[in-house]
Amino acid sequence: MAIETAAGALSPVTAIALVGALGVGSQWLAWRLRLPAIVLMLVAGVIVGPVLGLFDPQRDIGPLTQPLIALAVAVILFEGGLTLEFHGLKDRARGVRRLVFVGAPLGWLLSALALHFGAGLSWESSAVFGGILIVTGPTVIAPLLRQARLSRRPAALLQWEAIVNDPIGALAAVLAFEVVQVLYTATTAGAAVTEFVLGIGIATALGFAGGFGVAQSFRRAKVPEYMKVPVIFAALLAVFAASDAFLHESGLLAVTVMGIVIANSDLPSFTEVRRFKEHATILLVSGVFILLAASLDFAALGALDWRAGLFVALVVLVARPVTVLAALMFTDVPVKERVLVATTGPRGVVLVAVAGLFGERLAALGVADGALVGPLAFVLVAVSVVLHGFTLGPIARALGLTGGDKPGVLLVGGNSFTVALGEALQKAEVPVLMADPNPTHLRAAWKSGLKTFYGDVLSDAAEDRIEMVAYTTVVAATDNDAYNTLVATDLAPEVGRANVYQVAREKSDSARYSLPASLGGRAFGQKQTFAAFRSLIWRDWTVRVTKLSEEFTLDDWRATNPEGIVIATIAKSNEIRFVVDDETLEPPKGGRIVALYPPEPQSAAAAAR
């Protein structure tokens, strides 16, 4: 069933399963090895496709390949639209507007010039392909931002530009193609312009109507909770198909508008819907990249010459930097952020998919070099993905635009225990931020020199002001068990459930008060409650960091500190792990432990005094 012969075709089911396994497996391996996931997916697709010949999308999946890619791209752009909340723009609004309204036309012009004078394409192919080069690829930007841990503002600029410019680039290619079609066929210019304008208007209207209809039906409880995600998927596909029926590629604009409308509708269940869509997008991005890489035709690439390299160099080193720096000129975007955005322009799935489609259409019209558009697009995507995958993080760190090289700890709750813990971690060079909505609770932290946030850590203000990428661990330690559970549950999807902790809840051992494992964080420090930790601090217990070695092992530490309570371990890389079960504690070699120590025993003379 799986493979008919050594060189035979895979069954469609096996082929789709292989795509899923390779895509998700590449992302997991990239996480383990701390490598760019996009690069590994590209390599995996090329190996199983043109190198080994095990998988050929056109052979094994057939005519469904292109529709599957088109629908996947539509879902990816819709999910991207769901992340574009207007209140999150604020100080970035002007920069985003300039990148869209100034950067897109300028990028189109410079890319077309690079194609004509660099790659040697005709003006017809250069104009169409140049429009597609406006896009920077949300399918690539999202994994790169996740890995590079960029600061919030440059990350937002790159994300907004990628998602908004993607449908604009596709529509620019449609406009240029309509002009070429007028020149090569009997189609009149008036008919072409009418079709284009009508298509954009209908796409925008359909996207707005679809998003508004979904939002209103959810707000008025017309859709049960368990059907919300299926309804969104069905509406998304309907809007995409209806818009594409009027004007090809306008469906990308329609689904992006639909996502933005839903994102800014303040729906109470929006967070859960967006998280589900993010999971679906990870699967789709993985699958689409494997499909495109496996579809690579070495024969088509062989038709390219040295001018393809010149074209890539002009786009990456000239067109992109000039476009961004000119668009952001005279804005309040800091120079370092302009440089980072200007040197970051990876292309992705939309570019390859749309370029391949229009390359075929240009060739069918009689444009001789239209067949080169697809191979050039793939070369640009491959080079930009590898280049930015390995350089974005180092460049961002050199410019000081990352969340920090050392993983930090967010302490929720200002009190004597968290202050003692924060001081010890800060002395161990672990970044610490303490958050509390009561300024009185933060006084001791201020006096100790700890970095603080005055406000609710779950508020919009916290989302705007706290660089969450800098804090890989969250510890909820307030005197309110319910609030600790809420904080841990809400932040778990963002920082990882394994990295969210809270003080043990009172009465948590009772079946009447026990909670499902999906709620709250993990209890640490031998499952001490907030009251227990506070009591120990009041009784002069101290939090200290101790280095372990081959000469002084954990067993030696336990022998000399039988009453000590281990709270966390710190590896050589400064990665911190809070200890859930002291009995299974295995501190890293050469690492340190953070522990609570009882007060030193007094001498007899001191006791007498």
Q: How many CB atoms lie within 10 A of CB 349?
A: 26
- SS3 for 80-142, per residue? HHHCCCHHHCHHHHHHHHHHHHCHHHHHHHHHHHHHHHHHCCCHHHHHHHHHHCCCCCHHHHH
For residue 320, pLDDT over 50 is answered with: yes
pLDDT tens digit string along 523-558?
888 888 899 999 999 999 999 998 888 788 888 888
Instruction: Tell me what pLDDT residue 4 has.
Output: 42
Instruction: Tell me what pLDDT residue 345 has.
Output: 84
The sheet with strand 432-436 has its strands ordered as 451-454, 432-436, 408-412, 471-476, 500-502, 522-523
Instruction: Tell me what pLDDT residue 152 has.
Output: 75
Instruction: Tell me what pLDDT residue 419 has.
Output: 92
Instruction: Tell me what pLDDT residue 92 has.
Output: 65
Instruction: Tell me what pLDDT residue 212 has.
Output: 92
Instruction: Tell me what pLDDT residue 117 has.
Output: 92
CATH topology classification for 408-608? Rossmann fold (3.40.50)
Domain 12-398 in CATH 1.10.3720.10? The answer is: no
Q: With H, G, I as helix, E, B as strand and everything else as coil, classify residue 277.
A: helix
Q: With H, G, I as helix, E, B as strand and everything else as coil, classify residue 408.
A: strand
For 8-21, the DSSP string reads -PBPHHHHHHHHHH
Average pLDDT over residues 112-141: 85
Which range among 48-57, 82-91, 252-261, 376-385 shows the weakest confidence by mean pLDDT?
82-91
Instruction: Tell me what pLDDT residue 190 has.
Output: 76
10 Å CB burial of residue 298 (0-12, 13-18, 19+) is: exposed
* 508 band by pLDDT with thresholds 50, 70 and 90: low
* Type of residue at 591: G
For 252, residues 6+ apart whose C-beta sits below 8 A from its C-beta are 73, 74, 77, 166, 167, 170, 171, 240, 350
Average pLDDT over residues 266-278: 67
For residue 602, pLDDT over 60 is answered with: no
Instruction: Tell me what pLDDT residue 423 has.
Output: 92
Q: pLDDT over 90 for what percent of the chain?
A: 13
Give the span between the Cα atoms of 125 and 116, in whole angstroms.
Answer: 8
Instruction: Tell me what pLDDT residue 323 has.
Output: 92
The reply to whether 12-398 and 408-608 are identical in fold is no
pTM: 0.70
For residue 113, pLDDT over 90 is answered with: yes
479 vs 368, more confident: 479
Instruction: Tell me what pLDDT residue 389 has.
Output: 80
Average pLDDT over residues 222-244: 87
For the chain, give the mean pLDDT: 81
* 6 band by pLDDT with thresholds 50, 70 and 90: very low
Which ranges in 295-343 belong to alpha helices (H)? 298-302, 306-314, 320-327, 335-342
549 vs 122, more confident: 122
Strands 522-523 and 500-502: parallel
Instruction: Tell me what pLDDT residue 434 has.
Output: 92
Among residues 165, 382, 384, 222, the alpha carbon closest in space to that of 295 is found at 382
Give the span between the Cα atoms of 121 and 135, in whole angstroms.
Answer: 20
Instruction: Tell me what pLDDT residue 370 has.
Output: 83
* 2 band by pLDDT with thresholds 50, 70 and 90: very low
Which range among 15-24, 293-302, 551-560 shows the weakest confidence by mean pLDDT?
293-302
Instruction: Tell me what pLDDT residue 536 has.
Output: 92
CB 264 within 8 A of CB 85: yes
For residue 599, pLDDT over 60 is answered with: yes
Average pLDDT over residues 72-94: 71
Average pLDDT over residues 501-505: 89
10 Å CB burial of residue 400 (0-12, 13-18, 19+) is: exposed
CB 289 within 8 A of CB 42: yes
Q: Where are the domains of the chain?
A: 12-398, 408-608
* 374 band by pLDDT with thresholds 50, 70 and 90: confident
Give the span between the Cα atoms of 217 and 221, in whole angstroms.
Answer: 6
Long-range contacts of 423-426 (CB under 8 A, 24+ apart): 423/448, 423/450, 423/543, 424/543, 424/544, 424/545, 424/594, 425/545, 425/576, 425/594, 426/450
* 274 band by pLDDT with thresholds 50, 70 and 90: low
Cβ density class 520-537: b for 16+ within 10 Å, e for less: bbbbbbbbbbbebbbebb
* Type of residue at 258: M
